[in-house]
């Protein structure tokens, strides 16, 4: 089984995920811009039981970051863990976004990712047409 791992800038927080992600996306929303200090976030979502971390984290509204260096790390609930893919030791990563959120906030000099489903705002439905419960 594939295991991907990585750590924050200071190395204090380490994350690892097993197996294929449920989905991989990027988000251009205002919250992600502010959280990251950049134009968008790039993340993968795994079942919660395929995700592990060690180290001391702080959090703000469910967004967890390293208490020492402030690197953004992940958000997790009982079902899913969303991991910031910039943490991974592998760069570039082997993962490619299958969707983009909040494309109305995308910088005009960025192009849509080829083949990625485009959402003006949050994801509005699952592949089976049911409304989504989680935001990402
Ligand atoms: Zn750190
Ligand atoms: Zn966002």
Beta strands in the chain (DSSP E): 3-7, 14-18, 23-27, 41-47, 51-54, 57-60, 63-66, 72-76, 80-84, 99-101, 117-118
Burial class from Cβ neighbours inside 10 Å (0-12, 13-18, 19+) for residue 13 reads buried
**Residue 9 has what pLDDT?**
98
Residue 124 domain-assigned?
no
Could you tell me the CATH number of the domain that includes residue 50? Answer: 3.90.1590.10
| Rounded Cα–Cα distance for residues 4 and 93 (Å) | 9
Enter the pTM of the model.
0.89
Residue 67 domain-assigned?
yes
- Compute the distance from residue 29 Cα to the ligand 2 centre, in Å: 4
- Compute the distance from residue 106 Cα to the ligand 2 centre, in Å: 11
**Residue 84 has what pLDDT?**
98
Residue 127 domain-assigned?
no
Q: What is the mean pLDDT of the chain?
A: 92
- Give the ligand with the smallest distance to the CA of 38: 2
- Give the ligand with the smallest distance to the CA of 61: 2
- Compute the distance from residue 50 Cα to the ligand 2 centre, in Å: 23
Average pLDDT over residues 106-118: 97
- pLDDT band at 123; cut points 50, 70, 90: confident
Burial class from Cβ neighbours inside 10 Å (0-12, 13-18, 19+) for residue 126 reads exposed
Residue 52 domain-assigned?
yes
- Compute the distance from residue 55 Cα to the ligand 1 centre, in Å: 9
pLDDT digits (tens, 9 = 90+) for 53-107: 999 999 999 999 999 999 999 999 999 999 999 999 999 999 999 999 999 999 9
Its domain, for residue 60, covers 3-118
| Rounded Cα–Cα distance for residues 95 and 98 (Å) | 9
Instruction: Count structural domains, the chain.
Output: 1
- Give the ligand with the smallest distance to the CA of 15: 1
Neighbours of 49 (CB within 10 A): 10
Per-residue pLDDT at 36 exceeds 90: yes
Per-residue pLDDT at 135 exceeds 70: no
| Rounded Cα–Cα distance for residues 57 and 72 (Å) | 10
- Compute the distance from residue 23 Cα to the ligand 1 centre, in Å: 25
| Rounded Cα–Cα distance for residues 95 and 97 (Å) | 7
Half-sphere exposure of 119 (CA within 13 A, CB side): 19
- Give the ligand with the smallest distance to the CA of 64: 1
- Give the ligand with the smallest distance to the CA of 43: 2
Residue 131 domain-assigned?
no
**Residue 1 has what pLDDT?**
84
Ion ligand 2, residue ranges at CB < 5 A: 27, 29, 32
| Rounded Cα–Cα distance for residues 118 and 27 (Å) | 10
- pLDDT band at 21; cut points 50, 70, 90: very high
**Residue 128 has what pLDDT?**
52
Residue 11 domain-assigned?
yes
């Amino acid at each position: 089984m594939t295991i991907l791992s990585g750590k924050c800038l200071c190395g204090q927080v380490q994350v690892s995920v097993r197996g294929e992600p449920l989905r991989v996306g990027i988000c251009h929303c205002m919250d992600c811009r502010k959280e990251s200090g950049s134009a968008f976030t790039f993340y993968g979502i795994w079942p919660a039981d395929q995700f592990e971390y060690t180290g001391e984290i702080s959090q703000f509204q469910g967004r967890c970051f390293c208490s020492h260096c402030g690197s953004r790390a992940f958000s997790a609930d009982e079902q899913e863990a969303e991991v910031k893919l910039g943490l991974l030791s592998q760069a570039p990563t082997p993962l490619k976004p299958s969707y983009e959120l909040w494309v109305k906030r995308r910088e005009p000099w960025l192009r849509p990712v080829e083949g990625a489903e485009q959402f003006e705002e949050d994801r509005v439905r699952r592949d089976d047409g049911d409304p989504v419960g989680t935001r990402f």
